[in-house]
Structure 1
Amino acid sequence: MTHPELSAENPPSVLFTDVLVYDATAPAAVIGPTDVLVTGQRIAAVGPALDGTAPEGTRIVPGHGHHMLAPGLINAHFHSPANHLKGMLPSRPLEVFMLYESPADEALRPSPREAYLRTMLAALEMLRGGTTSVQDDAFVMPTPEPDVIDAIMSAYADAGIRATVALDQPEIPEAEKLPFLAEIAGPELAEVIHGPAPMDRADLLDRYAHLFSTWHGAAGGRLRGAVSVSAPQRVGVEYFAALADLGERHDVPMFVHMLETKVQRVLAGEQPRFAGRSLVRYTADLGLLRERTNVIHAVWVDSADLDLIAEAGATVAHNPVSNLRLGSGIMPFREIRRRGIPIGLGVDEAICNDAVDMWSVVRATGLVHNVTGLDSDLWPSAAEVLDCLWAGGARAMGQAQELGAVAVGRLADLVLIDLHATAFTPLNDVRGQLVYCESGDSVTLTMVDGRVVAEGGRVTTVDETALLAEARELFAARRPALRAAHTAADRFRPAYQEMVRRAAQRDVGMNRWAGGSA
């Protein structure tokens, strides 16, 4: 049952007049100037001179012939609990980085207000820059309690963003998720790495029951649940299957990190349960690689893996800035596109992107694949990058017919961009300047579900100034506990670093590092 205060609102109609409209099928990517009428949650009409058809009380937003209405940006992969940690850590390999990013330390258990504020930090940043939808794979350490789940969802509700949220929690001991660790760690770390996960399968499924019964479909459908196994190596088969079935029942995405790092590729030959199979093959053999699956990262995949992903009809979530920050490697973009696999774009999280900024992700997608050694004709075009952002993002969310285009009947998740801003002056190529020039500074208005939620560089749904002041005070008070947790994590670092180095020396038949040796 959803909260009554989060039922669908009935926002006033809005008429955008004399605007250019982004249209992926148009030769120059824009049509117009024209008008766009939004009534309720949806786009009601696109065409000239709509002022005579607008309902009484409609707000008029003039485009002056040089503002472009585009679909809201879609953040296809994100983790909200690290929003308050941006810029804190040096670049390290994922397996080492996670020691400091998400320690299961009781002293760091968030209060509901802390969870609310750190979620709100990201929502504010996204809405100001024109991101209207987010898929949050929320890891809540040490355990996801109902009041914290409620706080995360309430922040998204209050901010006005569209959010699909899952609970990303491990279910098995640390030593079973990683290669070499048991033999490297030694007796002084054995108790920790062989100890149980913070929460077992039954309790995790109970938390999912709370998420779906309380929040799925809230705010007129703007808030939705999803399911997440985190990664195949981090859960048992029964929990994996239970979540896949839960996702099927509710028709929602399933988030699965797969082959983000070379360590994860090497794991196949080190853990008996995988019997030499890649994590993609293992998942497919279990019957759990499905159309609703978001394959997150897909860096160290081979051709056989990609064939399986394509056959399943799954979507890949590409996180290029995170992959660079953590040295994970470069996803084989062209091979994925060649197979017709949809690609969505994601921030990953603030601590390994250092901003919750989709424009930086868009730009990185347009650049990083140029150093993979492919012929330049195979480098991503600006049109392809934008297709990933909008069509791929909508597909990842399971809303391909609802989001990602400015068209009659679509949900009114829109961003208004001033083409007289510096990034577009002079206007040479809309697609190219969206990908390589835009930083979010040209965004003048953001609309979600037909409601204006940011305008003139400010979020209009909440008291942004007060929330930021509160966040500064709260997280300053939390720094001593965080420093203590990081000091405690230092003792694990040599073992984890050695594990990464061993994996780096293995020949896995591919190299995803630019300028490095496999």
Structure 2
Amino acid sequence: MAELIVQARWVVTGIKDRSTPIVIEDGAVLSRDGVIVATGALEEMQKLAPTAETRKYPDHAMLPGFVNSHHHVGMTPLQLGSPDHALELWFASRLPARRLDLTLDTLYSAFEMIASGITTVQHIHGWMPGGYEAIHGAASKVLGAYRALGMRASYCYAVREQNRLVYEADEDFCARLPAELGDKLARHLKAQAMPFDDFLKLFDQLTAENAGQSLTRIQLAPANLHWCTDEGLQALDAKAKAAGVPMHMHLLETIYQKEYARRRTGKTALRHLHDLGVLGPHMTLGHGVWLNEEDIDIVADTGTCICHNCSSNFRLRSGLAPLNRWEAKGINVGMGLDEAGINDDRDMLSELRLALRVHRVPGMEDADVPTCPQVVKMATEAGAMTTAFGASIGRLDEGRFFDAALISWTKATYPFQDPDIPMLDALVQRAKTGAVDAVFINGEVVYEDGRFTKVDRDAVLAEIADTLATPRSADEVARRELGLAVFPHVKKFYEGYLPEAEPTPFYANSARI
């Protein structure tokens, strides 16, 4: 058995409450075959395992590895030519995106995630042409890339049955376009269609192939209400419950999605899901920006989880999610970087600060705004519960996998930090990715001193640069022309879509009068 002891100046094993981290000073973690056996003083751990390898980080804080609870692609949409439009227009602007081998693409963002202390990612895959065999091959590449790098991934392929570009049937939208353009778009959308039973078959096949893997697990993902039929949602829910896996579903990311739900169901999207019987602790709602007060009560009462994607909500003009209300209701909320963070990368330390600060509503009561321990919990144990790994990750407790990030106190706080500021608060407020000196996943060092131990990052980045330096393929040229031609028609579709009544926010940061 492989035994390892890792010692640090502080070991943050978890979060007790929104104000209190659980910290062992001059602590250590003992793991065996990637699973934590005990935590405590270094001497105690050495007595338990006198022959174990010992690694010391006397200037560091050890935190549970971060969980990115909502992720899709490697190269960012902006890198591939898509500006930060409103979400509904952004879908059209992504049609021209370059194609990149999915091993390279997955590794690209995984490098960025691990370098900021992320050890587990919820990878929500989708939007691929080519039919079942091509999609299975693509999923296998994504999973293989994470395993090769040594990163933990909870994988799902998003189920889309309908309304693939705008919030109406593909054939209806295409029929209203100029004939030639409508035909081209119809062929493009049809190439992404897959029979519903094939989505279930893909889950079963990937689950069987993943048997025995410690780093990857498979779950399910109904993509969003407008992309799924009621029958599909209930079938996926039944499948998830039978297989004992969670689901992750985009919901109410934008006000347009709120209006779509009203038109389709005559009620809110969340109430509709509740009436279908698909909510519960196994369901995570990605975004949830436009949940109303009754919706939030239902989420809390059913134990449903939410993933907060703060950067994405800002970048795509989706709105400000009511995080403070979710927290007050005791909802389990994870943290997701979605396509990319506020700086067009996958930096969880930056995302922690963003979530901490943008929800600081006017007033003086600390209980009304996020705390540093709260956002760390969102990015660790709360996020863990939105994935197929659940309580086996997210804390540095006995019986959980040893996934941890080591952050240098000196690099984070030099030249000075007053000790009146709690250690974890100082790190959340000040630590940058350059202060992440080591990352352990499954009891192995996968990143240390700026280098990855299993994959050559420089070689991968060079291959990506060489690949994308070549001219667009004929298919890429055609998709670029299609995207540019379709974009104004998509924009026109949403003219007058919203009701005239102004929405009433949960909290406001300014006033017109």
TM-score category of the 2 structures, normalised to the smaller one: 0.7 to 0.9
Could you tell me which amino acid in structure 2 is paired with residue 209 of structure 1?
D
Which deviations, in whole Å up to 9, do the C-alpha atoms of 1:75-104 show, x marking residues without a partner? 011112554754743221001111133x3x
Structure 1 residues 504 and 351, CA gap change in structure 2 (3 angstroms): farther
Q: Map residues 61-72 of structure 1 onto 2, 5 A cutoff.
A: 61-64=55-58, 66-72=59-65
* 1:207 aligns to 2:194 (yes or no): no
Query: Normalising by structure 1, what TM-score?
Result: 0.86
**Matched residue SS, 1:142:** coil
Q: Which residue of 1 aligns with 2:396?
A: 406
* 1:285 aligns to 2:275 (yes or no): yes
* 1:489 aligns to 2:494 (yes or no): no
Could you tell me which amino acid in structure 1 is paired with residue 268 of structure 2?
S
Structure 1 residues 39 and 84, CA gap change in structure 2 (3 angstroms): farther
* 1:135 aligns to 2:122 (yes or no): yes
* 1:247 aligns to 2:240 (yes or no): yes
The counterpart of 1:225, out of the listed 218, 225, 228, is 218
Which stretch shows the higher mean deviation, 258-267 or 464-473? 464-473
The counterpart of 1:33, out of the listed 19, 22, 26, is 26
Q: Which residue of 2 aligns with 1:7?
A: none
Query: Normalising by structure 2, what TM-score?
Result: 0.87
Structure 1 residues 161 and 175, CA gap change in structure 2 (3 angstroms): closer
Q: Which residue of 1 aligns with 2:11?
A: 21
Return the alpha-carbon distance in structure 1 between the equivalents of residues 115 and 173 of structure 2. 48
The counterpart of 1:116, out of the listed 97, 103, 128, is 103
- For the 8 Å contact 2:75–2:109, the answer to whether it is kept is no
Q: Which residue of 1 aligns with 2:46?
A: 51
**Matched residue SS, 1:396:** coil
- For the 8 Å contact 1:329–1:514, the answer to whether it is kept is no
- For the 8 Å contact 1:36–1:43, the answer to whether it is kept is yes
Which sections of structure 2, spanning at least 5 residues, go unmatched?
none
- For the 8 Å contact 1:89–1:351, the answer to whether it is kept is no
Structure 1 residues 301 and 27, CA gap change in structure 2 (3 angstroms): closer
Which deviations, in whole Å up to 9, do the C-alpha atoms of 1:268-300 show, x marking residues without a partner? 3333xx1x2121111111111222111110001
The counterpart of 2:88, out of the listed 78, 81, 95, is 95
Question: Deviation at 1:381?
Answer: 1.5
Question: Deviation at 1:516?
Answer: 9.7
Return the alpha-carbon distance in structure 2 between the equivalents of residues 156 and 96 of structure 1. 31
- For the 8 Å contact 2:273–2:279, the answer to whether it is kept is yes
* 1:380 aligns to 2:373 (yes or no): no
The counterpart of 2:452, out of the listed 452, 455, 459, is 459
Question: Deviation at 1:331?
Answer: 0.4
Question: Deviation at 1:399?
Answer: 4.2
* 1:269 aligns to 2:262 (yes or no): yes
Q: Which residue of 2 aligns with 1:370?
A: 360
Question: Deviation at 1:446?
Answer: 0.5
- For the 8 Å contact 1:126–1:356, the answer to whether it is kept is yes
Identity %: 26
Structure 1 residues 412 and 82, CA gap change in structure 2 (3 angstroms): same
* 1:340 aligns to 2:335 (yes or no): no
Q: Which residue of 2 aligns with 1:434?
A: 427
Which deviations, in whole Å up to 9, do the C-alpha atoms of 1:216-275 show, x marking residues without a partner? x4423x21001011101101223222222222122222011110001001113333xx1x
- For the 8 Å contact 2:341–2:347, the answer to whether it is kept is no
Q: Which residue of 2 aligns with 1:235?
A: 228
Question: Deviation at 1:486?
Answer: 3.3
- For the 8 Å contact 1:84–1:475, the answer to whether it is kept is no
Which stretch shows the higher mean deviation, 141-150 or 286-295? 141-150
Which deviations, in whole Å up to 9, do the C-alpha atoms of 1:274-333 show, x marking residues without a partner? 1x2121111111111222111110001101111221122110000000001101001001
* 1:145 aligns to 2:135 (yes or no): yes
- For the 8 Å contact 1:266–1:506, the answer to whether it is kept is no
Could you tell me which amino acid in structure 2 is paired with residue 207 of structure 1?
L
Which sections of structure 1, spanning at least 5 residues, go unmatched?
1-9
Which deviations, in whole Å up to 9, do the C-alpha atoms of 1:461-486 show, x marking residues without a partner? 11222222212222333745546523
Could you tell me which amino acid in structure 2 is paired with residue 430 of structure 1?
M
Return the alpha-carbon distance in structure 2 between the equivalents of residues 406 and 361 of structure 1. 22
Return the alpha-carbon distance in structure 2 between the equivalents of residues 487 and 320 of structure 1. 32
Return the alpha-carbon distance in structure 1 between the equivalents of residues 363 and 330 of structure 2. 19
Could you tell me which amino acid in structure 2 is paired with residue 265 of structure 1?
K
Return the alpha-carbon distance in structure 1 between the equivalents of residues 157 and 255 of structure 2. 25
**Matched residue SS, 2:245:** coil
- For the 8 Å contact 1:268–1:277, the answer to whether it is kept is yes
Which deviations, in whole Å up to 9, do the C-alpha atoms of 1:396-455 show, x marking residues without a partner? 125443222222222101111111114464253223223222222111110111111111
Return the alpha-carbon distance in structure 2 between the equivalents of residues 447 and 361 of structure 1. 21
Could you tell me which amino acid in structure 1 is paired with residue 11 of structure 2?
V
